[in-house]
Amino acid sequence: MEHEPVRYPELSPQLRDRSLMGMLRLFGPGAIIASVTIGSGETVFASRGGAVFGYSLFWCFLVGSALKGLQVYTGARFITLTGRHPLRSWMELPGPRGWFVLFVSVMTIVWMPFWVGGGLPKMLGEFTNWVVGFPDPENRSDYIFFGRLWGTFFILVALTFTWVQSYGFLERVQTVLVGLLLICMVLAAAVSSPDLLALLGGTLIPTPPRYDGWVLERFSEFRGRNPWVEMVTYLGAVGGGTQDYLGYVGMLREKGWGLLGSRVRGPVEATRENLKRGLAWLRAPRTDVTVSFTCIFIFTLCFAVLGATILYPRQEIPSGFDLLTLQLGYLVRPDQSPLVQSLLAWLYKTGIFFAFFGTIYGAYELYTRTTRECLAALFPSLRKVPLKKFRLWTLLWCAVPGLSLLWFLERDPVFIVTPAALVGSGLICGLWCFAMLWSDRVHLPKELRMRWPLWLGTLVAGIGLTVIPLIGIVKYVQSFL
């Protein structure tokens, strides 16, 4: 049966507003992606990267943010122009039907509990112990126990909010969290007095990862961990991965941009006016993704600066929770007035708390959308299932294994999420880019396809996000042989 050509709707008032405030009004789903990725990436891994490598690896954070921003934009662009999630397009890739979607879905969903249960709630729980001053950190068994109690409490709060909230409420809360984080972490990084020339050089001049002698001498955990594995873990963790991005693209349905605002599906009407309107709709996802990944890079830079400025010169590489407390100890110095000490302590503690809780809180809803899009692409009959049922399945899948990891797994969070970062947040992101180049060519009319700068950028992102994680995966496997 032939479908009637589809026309794009008239541009929304927010999209026609070219002012700065008009642009910021388009920022919504991107706030969720920015807030959710901070606790799992920037807070821990950017700080660790600065502590281990100093300023020399800042280019990795810039490249990672740029490549992942391009990756996410291609998906947001496609769903805005077609009304279809890229996963549904990938079902038609050459080969056995749905093989690529099945692979991406498994490599995405299986790691979800590791991100929201394997370390972040425990770290937030122990951080809360430290903030409230109970119990005594010297009593490590009690400290860990109460940290797990706090972590369980935060998981239960996030589950409750996710079950009863609306999308609009989540978007507003996460936008506020992103604003608070920007203020707190920019101020914290500024008062640490970074070396601006070293910062600029490390950001703009790529250098291969290399451990200083003191790293291997003082910290045995790095002797069997190749520096490429360490770097690729940062690349995977910072900015998030497919577990976040597939849900983000699905979340755009709430905004109704482009053909997402139409229930009619079919070939796009090839008139000049309609095609021009379709391209104009792209300003919405382009703005949202740009603001989101700009915030992500600023967050990353702030945490990396704290690690490079405060920890690296003192040859300190604490892991997990301890990394966060040491930074505060160096920001708040004895020569400062009590007022300055209190202000800096409040800024830092507030920033860290919201970074972790924002991740835990927002991840469940984001993962709900990811689960729905993956399963609905593989099994079309599930497209009619209400989102609330997918939310229940996702909450159970994330919470039960997540609580088990929180209470029974003793390994370092970095160790736990390393394979997830290498595969789900690294390699699969690169394959996404190649798949989007195929979808763009096959499922869009010529007039709506990527222009050569975006096409070339997507190709570079695909190569970078595939080759670099592959190197890391090979070296990671070799470390066990």
Of 132, 79, 109, the residue nearest 440 (C-alpha)? 79
Q: Between vectors from CA 407 to CA 401 and to CA 408, what angle results, nearest 5°?
A: 80
Provide the pLDDT for residue 343: 79
Answer yes or no: are the C-beta atoms of 202 and 57 closer than 8 Å.
yes
What domain range includes position 184? 13-421
Candidate from 167-171, 211-215, 340-344, 394-398 with smallest mean pLDDT:
167-171
Candidate from 31-45, 90-104, 204-218, 271-285 with smallest mean pLDDT:
31-45
Q: How many residues does the chain have?
A: 481
Confidence of residue 118 (pLDDT cuts 50, 70, 90): low
Instruction: Tell me, yes or no, whether 292 lies in a domain.
Output: yes
In tens, the pLDDT along 433-466 reads 999 999 999 999 999 999 999 999 999 999 988 9
DSSP 75-132: HHHHHHHHSS-HHHHHTTSSSSTTHHHHHHHHHHHTTHHHHHHTTHHHHHHHHHHHHH
Instruction: Tell me, yes or no, whether 175 lies in a domain.
Output: yes
pLDDT tops 90 at residue 128: no
Of 104, 65, 459, 89, the residue nearest 450 (C-alpha)? 459
What are the angstrom distances between the C-alpha of 158 and each of 121, 292, 357, 365, 408? Answer: 11, 22, 8, 9, 21
Instruction: Tell me, yes or no, whether 459 lies in a domain.
Output: no
Instruction: Tell me, yes or no, whether 441 lies in a domain.
Output: no
Strand partners, 6: 268
Instruction: Tell me, yes or no, whether 447 lies in a domain.
Output: no
Question: Total structural domains in the chain?
Answer: 1
Instruction: Tell me, yes or no, whether 78 lies in a domain.
Output: yes
In tens, the pLDDT along 273-313 reads 999 999 999 999 999 999 888 888 888 888 888 889 888 98
422 or 38, which is more confident: 422
Mean pLDDT of 381-400: 89
Mean pLDDT of 42-47: 75
| Residue 152, domain CATH | 1.20.1740
CA–CA separation, 190 and 182 (whole Å): 12
- pLDDT, the chain, mean: 83
Instruction: Tell me, yes or no, whether 248 lies in a domain.
Output: yes
Instruction: Tell me, yes or no, whether 258 lies in a domain.
Output: yes
Confidence of residue 1 (pLDDT cuts 50, 70, 90): very low
Helices 58-82 and 242-251 pack at an angle, to 10 degrees, of 30
In tens, the pLDDT along 171-209 reads 677 777 777 777 777 877 787 888 889 999 999 988 888
22 or 84, which is more confident: 84
